[in-house]
Amino acid sequence: MRKFVLMVLANGVGLYLADLYIPGVEILRTIENLILAAFILALINTFLRPILKFVLTPVIIITFGLANVIVSALTIYLLDYLFPAITISGLLALILTAILVGVINMILGLLMVKNDK
């Protein structure tokens, strides 16, 4: 449960920073929209991301892991499709948002592992 809450927090921070700094990303900036978007993205990452990674495993292996960005971009695109308060225009904005949210999740994951020891 703690990991999921931290994932929601990291997603929220990543989406907020993407809205601020990446042109083409627009989020109706209310706290409710941000929390709901982060929660939906955490659900997508929990349930659909493993399936996408399994299906795309050959591509991920061939590209030496670079296709993980594609998986992240697909999850962000699905969030954009499902949640009308988020609008991402353009492929570059989508990929940069996926990278930013992924980096924020990685940093929080490393901090969480460090605190568990």
Read off the pLDDT of residues 3-32 as tens digits, 9 standing for 90 and up: 889 899 999 999 999 999 999 999 988 899
Q: How far is CA 62 from CA 23, 40, 49, 55, 69, in A?
A: 31, 30, 19, 13, 14
Largest CA distance in the chain: 41
pLDDT at position 117 is: 60
pLDDT, tens only, 103-113: 999 998 888 77
The answer to whether residue 75 scores a pLDDT higher than 80 is yes
Phi, psi values for residue 17, rounded to 5°: -65, -35
Domains in the chain: how many in total? 1
**Are 8 and 40 contacting, i.e. CB atoms less than 8 angstroms apart?**
no
**CB 85, CB 2: distance < 8 Å:** no
> What range defines the domain where residue 54 resides?
2-116
pLDDT at 114 over 80: no
